Structure 1
C-alpha cells in the first residue's frame, strides 16, 4: 500500500512531532470537542467542504472557499495533510479528493479511523493553537483532474471503460449505469480492525469483479461521497486510469441518462 496515499496509524504516530504533517479531523465539531481527537488535529467538518448549491462541479465547495478553510486551519500548501473520520475513512476520503482537485500536492488518508487509532494510541481534548495562513489554491486543469462530467461518461459508455458502482445492493438493483459492476466501498474494510484489509486481499476482491489496473475505470455512486473512498484505495494500489464521476447517478438521472435495473445473477 502506497504510504504517499494512505498512511498507517504507526506512520502517523511516528510523525506527530513533524510540524509539516498536519492532521485534519473531518467529524462534526461536537465529536471533535466532546469525544476527543488525535493529538494536534484541527477540525474541518465534512459539511464545511461539501456544498449542495453546486458552486463548483458537483458538490465541490469551490477553490477559494476550500482554500479559506485550509488557511483558517493554519495549513500551508507545502504541508503533508493526513485526514481521518470515524466512519472507516469515507468522509475523510472526500476531503482527500477535494484537496487533490484544488492542487494540494501531499494529502493522505489515515488507514482506519478515530476508533482504530484509539485502540493503540492516545487521543486528546486539547485544541491546538492555530496560526492562520494565506492559503493559495492551485486547481487542477480539466485534463489533469480525475473528475469527469456527464458528457465524458456518456462517451465512456461507448468504449471499453468499466463502470464501478460503489453503492449497496438495493440501490444498484433499482437503477445503475449500463453494464456497471457493483463493488460496495465497505468491502475493502475489515470490520474487526476498522482498517483496510491486506493488500493481497484487496487485489483479489477487486479482480473478482474485473476491476484490474489495466482497465479504464469510471467510479460513481449517488452523490460522489462513497466513490471517494474507493478512488483513494485504488490510487494506493497503483491504479492509474481511474475516473471519478462527480455528478454520479444523481446528475445522470437528471439528464435522463440510460439506466439498467433489476438483480444481476453474477452478483
Structure 2
C-alpha cells in the first residue's frame, strides 16, 4: 500500500530512497529540488489518448523512464510535486498498477513548497547509474471498467465518488455519484493531508466510509490517484479505480446527470 510520509521521514531516509520530482523540467532545473531527486515530469508518463487502458503509459514507455532514472523494481520511491501531491500520486499509482511493490512507494506529505520551508534543497543533478527496469503488472488490481462503475450507483454497499470540483460535477456527472473534490482532503496551510480525524469526517459527510466499496473517477485519472492514495493510507481496503474515468465514459456515449450535490 502506497504510504504518505512526512518531510522529516524523507529527510532521514534519503540515502535509501529514489526521489522522483514530477514537476515540469524547467521547475526542477530553475527552482531547485529535493537532494538526490531525479526529474520525471508528469507529461512524460501519461498516454495522450483515452481508450480502454485509460491514460496509463505503455510498458515500454514506463521502463524507458524509470531505468534511466536509476530506478529498479526493488527501489523504494518517494515522489513529490508542487500541487499538494496530486501529480506525484498519479506517478505512484501508475507504478503500482504496472507492478512496482506498493509497500515501496511513498507520497511526500505536502509538496516542494512546504518542503523548502524547513528542509534543504539542491540545484545539482545527481549522478545516476541506469538500470534495466522490468514491468510486471500484478494479476489483481483496483482497476474497474465502465459497467462496474455504472452498477455501483445502484449498489447500497458501494459509493460512487466524483473527485472533480463542484462546477465540473454540476455540469455533468455519472448518475448516482457523490461529490468529493480531492482538495477537500488537503490542508491549504500545510499543503499536506488533513489530520486523520478531520479527513475521516470529511469523507463520512458524503457517505464515504470504510464499510462500503468506494469507486473513484475524475476526468483522466489524475485526481482520483490522490484520493486513492489517501483512502488507502487511512485504512480503506475496498477502493476501486476507474482508470478510463469520464474520458472513456463519454467516449462510450454513457449518460451524464447535471446538477449540484445540494440539488
**Which interval holds the TM-score relative to the shorter structure?**
over 0.9
The 8 Å contact of residues 101 and 140 in structure 1, kept in 2 or not, is answered as yes
TM-score by length of 2: 0.95
Distance 1:38 1:58, change over 3 A: same
Match of 2:237 among 216, 237, 240: 240
Structure 1: segments with no counterpart, 5+ residues = none
1:177-220 CA-to-partner distances (Å, cap 9, x unmatched) read 11111010011111111111111110111111110111111101
Residue aligning to 1:209: 206
Residue aligning to 2:36: 40
The 8 Å contact of residues 6 and 236 in structure 1, kept in 2 or not, is answered as yes
Q: 3-state DSSP class of the match of 2:19?
A: strand
Distance 1:114 1:56, change over 3 A: farther
The 8 Å contact of residues 221 and 245 in structure 2, kept in 1 or not, is answered as yes
| Aligned-residue CA RMSD (Å) | 1.5
Distance 1:102 1:210, change over 3 A: same
1:108-161 CA-to-partner distances (Å, cap 9, x unmatched) read 1110000110011010100100110011111122xx111112222233334232
Residue aligning to 1:51: 47
Q: Does 1:231 align with 2:218?
A: no
Q: 3-state DSSP class of the match of 1:249?
A: helix
TM-score by length of 1: 0.93
Match of 1:126 among 105, 124, 127: 124
How many residues align? The count is 260
Structure 2: segments with no counterpart, 5+ residues = none
Runs of 4+ in 1 over 3 A off after TM superposition: 53-56
Counterpart CA distance in 2 for 1:78 and 1:89 is 23
Residue aligning to 1:163: 160
